[in-house]
């Protein structure tokens, strides 16, 4: 099995890569913070977050703070494992070609 087989297609897009990177180093992030950090539209963030949620890599927690809706994202154990594996594969690929 080649090194590139461990590169996870779910993390191919820069927005998904960004979401996962933020969540790997933070306990959680809300929609507004991710939107600002990644400089994306509401729809773009929502669709990529949904794809990561459907893959089981993040969980979504919706609540109200006062009367305002708040959506919070948390990386799952499965997501942490998959993302680390993805980063390891990229690192091996880069180091192999130096």
pLDDT computed for residue 19 by the predictor: 98
pLDDT computed for residue 95 by the predictor: 87
Between CA 38 and CA 3 the distance in angstroms is 28
Q: Span 66-75, mean pLDDT?
A: 94
Confidence band, pLDDT 50/70/90 cuts, at residue 97: low
Cβ atoms of residues 27 and 74 within 8 Å: yes
What average pLDDT is seen over the chain?
A: 93
pLDDT of 35 higher than 80:
yes
Note the pTM of the prediction, 2 decimals: 0.90
């Amino acid at each position: 099995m080649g090194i590139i087989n461990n590169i996870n297609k779910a993390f191919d897009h820069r927005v998904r890569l960004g979401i996962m990177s933020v969540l790997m180093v933070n306990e959680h992030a809300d929609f507004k913070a991710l939107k600002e950090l990644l400089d994306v539209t509401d729809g773009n963030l929502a669709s990529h977050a949904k794809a990561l949620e459907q893959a089981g890599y993040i969980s979504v927690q919706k609540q109200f703070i006062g009367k305002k809706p708040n959506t919070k994202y948390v990386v799952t154990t499965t997501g942490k494992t998959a993302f680390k594996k993805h980063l390891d594969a990229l690192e091996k690929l880069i180091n192999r070609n130096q």
